[in-house]
Amino acid sequence: MMPGRLRITTALVLLLTALASAPLQCQTRGTTRVTTSFDSDWRFFKGDAQGAERPEFDDTSWRRLDVPHDWSIEGPFDEKNPTGKDGGYLPAGVGWYRKHFDVPARDAGRRVFVEFDGVMANSDVWVNGQHLGKRPYGYIGFRYELTDQLKFGKENIIAVRADNSGQPASRWYTGAGLYRHVRLVNAQPVHIEHWGTFVTTPRVTDASATVSVRSTVVNQSSEARGVSLQVQLTGPDGKVVGTAETRRRQLAAGETADFTQELSVKSPVRWDITNPALYRAVARVLSGGRVLDDETVTFGIREFKFEPATGFWLNGRNFKLKGVCLHHDGSAFGAAVPLRVWERRLEVLRRFGANAIRTAHNPPAPEFLDLADRMGFIVMDETFDVWTIAKRPFDYHLYFDEWSKIDTRDTVRRDRNHPSIVIYSTGNEIHDTPKPDLAKRVLGGLIEVFHREDPTRPVTQALFRPNVSKDYDNGLADMLDVVGQNYREKEILAA
């Protein structure tokens, strides 16, 4: 549930470092939408390659590999590398990836998309020589449509240029290249948008739970279609616990619309840190008796809140969040971290008494959140380490004004169905806060995006030395749903 404006100091700002992206399984969601792993058989070149975006470019001498791939961790280590101590003295620069692939001629008329879970950093993507877009931030996934540029039934070339040559760009090791998973999605013209299904549980009791499923459907065909949304829920045991269908409505060519369905689940099994029970919602787009698209979302039924006097409550139980801050790398694996590495780390942390994770200081790989769901860890999902004022010369402050609301929106849409996430963080020890007029304007804009995209979770920020920046006096802290402070408690008491 969404709390009101609370003033509570949460200490989900803790020890440790080292965590990031882990492998994601290939998955096919239904018979109408086909999702295929796009990880295998890429060609890689370390350095800049003039004209490598063109399909006729000769890449036969390039190294062949599968992604996720972090080329920086391969070294060499050198104290002269511009990443410096923050980047482990490992190399930075430009890396190119190219992949040759076919899309069957029978799929002409369908819509084809490529999805990247993260590219480090400043990525540009082309297909058959056509530029699809650029994303500076290496930590959030994105999607491009390929349809209009594809040669169905013939060979196609996708090219990715990743550039982190501007250094130092971070206060920790970032990795480089296609360090997270890639997928190809093949769908009907009428389909659910990317990250378009949002599942919430607005009312939960021991007797029943209300499950609300909202899917955003887009009609990319050239004619109007009569469309309805069917939702089927399955419980932790795999048995169907509810099915419902919305009324049919007309969707004009090019139109996008939300379809919402509420279902009641009797005697729900709640997601909890001691029993991380997971349900599945299958949203199907129907037209003329046919299934045009389907999407499966894993979710949990649970209720939580933050109270000023007592702190965090989950399913009616009050307990302390004992967590760690985990970065996205995996030691010798660099930023391309196998899932078993994360699993083992969480197993060890649990033995130490940890029950919560803060994703320091950026969105993690999506499969890490899947793992937190399955293992029953509470998660603070953090977005940024900087806003407009730099901590390093080439960090995200260069792109913040243009990209921060887009990256925040995409983070929330990607992550909002994870029951492990109970709070979002707008940033860590932000250096804008000594300028309250600037900081409050930025914070207000970010909070608006968080609340618009997901009104079910509170928003916090890791305040740093607020006795110096006067965050508790100038109104900035009052803007947060839950106030977060990074240590230095004695300075606050002395202020």
Tell me the catalytic residues: 429
Distant-in-sequence, close-in-space partners of 62: CB < 8 Å, separation ≥ 6: 43, 44, 45, 96, 98
246 DSSP 8-state letter = P
Residue 235: Cβ within 10 Å count = 18
Sheet hosting strand 9-10, strand order edge to edge = 9-10, 483-485, 459-463, 421-428, 378-382, 356-359, 323-326
Q: ∠ at Cα 197 (110, 107), nearest 5°?
A: 10
Residue 459: Cβ within 10 Å count = 21
CA neighbours closer than 13 Å in the CB half-sphere of residue 59? 29
CA 358 to mean position of chain CA atoms: 14
CA 93 to mean position of chain CA atoms: 25
Extended strands (E) in 206-303: 208-219, 225-234, 240-245, 249-251, 256-266, 279-287, 290-299
Q: Which of 353, 312, 306, 322 is nearest to 13 (CA)?
A: 322
Q: Is 48 in contact with 130 (CB distance < 8 Å)?
A: no
Q: Which of 251, 116, 99 is nearest to 185 (CA)?
A: 116
The rounded distance, in Å, linking the Cα atoms of 35 and 33 is 6
Q: Is 196 in contact with 296 (CB distance < 8 Å)?
A: no
